[in-house]
C-alpha cells in the first residue's frame, strides 16, 4: 500500500512540476513580447482622422472665418494623402513624421507636394491650398503626433 501511495505522489508531483514549467514558459513568452505585436494596426480611416487632426492643428491660429474655408478644404485632401502613403507606412504616421519614415517615393517636401498634387487631380481649390501656402507642405512633411500636444 505504501508503494502505491508513494508512486501516486511521485506521479502527481511530476505532473505539477511539468505544468508549472509550461505555465512559466508561456507567461515569460507573453510578457517579453513587444506590446506592438498586440497593437491594432491603423486602418485607412484612422490615418484619415489623423490627417484631419493635422488640418485642425495647422489652421488653429487662423481667424474663424478663414478656418471655416481652409479646414474643410484641407480635410478634403485626406483621401489623396492616404493614397500616396504606402500601406506599410500608414500605421506609423503621425507617430513618426514623413521625414522620419523615409518613404522611398516621398523623400522630400517637394516629392510630397508633387505626389499630393498628382493624387488631387484637377480640383483648383485643393491645388490652391497646396500651391498658395508655402508652409503647408513643409509643415506636413515634418509633422508628427507630438506636435499636437505642444
- Give the domain ranges of the chain: 2-38, 44-149
Q: What pLDDT is attached to residue 112?
A: 94
* 39-57 confidence digits (pLDDT tens): 444 455 688 889 899 999 9
**Over the chain, what HEC string results?**
CHHHHHHHHHHHHHHHHHHHHHHHHHHHHHHHCCHHHHCCCCCHHHHHHHHHHHHHHHCCCCCHHHHHHHHHHHHCCHHHHHHHCCHHHHCCCCCCCHHHHCECCECCHHHHHHHHHHHHCCCHHHHHHHHCCCCHHHHHHHCCHHHHHC
Segments of the chain scoring below 50 in pLDDT:
34-42
Amino acid at each position: 500500500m505504501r508503494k502505491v501511495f508513494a508512486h501516486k505522489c511521485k506521479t502527481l508531483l511530476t505532473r505539477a512540476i511539468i505544468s508549472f514549467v509550461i505555465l512559466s514558459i508561456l507567461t515569460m513568452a507573453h510578457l517579453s513580447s513587444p506590446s506592438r505585436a498586440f497593437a491594432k494596426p491603423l486602418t485607412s480611416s484612422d490615418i484619415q482622422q489623423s490627417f484631419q487632426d493635422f488640418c485642425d492643428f495647422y489652421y488653429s491660429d487662423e481667424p474663424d472665418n478663414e478656418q471655416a474655408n481652409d479646414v474643410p478644404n484641407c480635410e478634403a485632401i485626406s483621401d489623396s494623402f492616404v493614397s500616396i502613403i504606402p500601406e506599410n507606412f500608414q500605421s506609423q504616421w503621425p507617430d513618426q513624421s514623413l521625414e522620419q519614415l523615409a518613404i522611398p517615393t516621398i523623400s522630400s517636401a517637394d516629392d510630397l507636394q508633387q505626389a499630393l498634387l498628382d493624387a488631387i487631380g484637377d480640383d483648383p481649390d485643393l491645388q490652391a491650398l497646396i500651391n498658395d501656402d508655402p508652409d503647408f507642405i513643409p509643415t506636413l512633411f515634418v509633422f508628427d503626433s507630438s506636435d499636437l500636444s505642444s
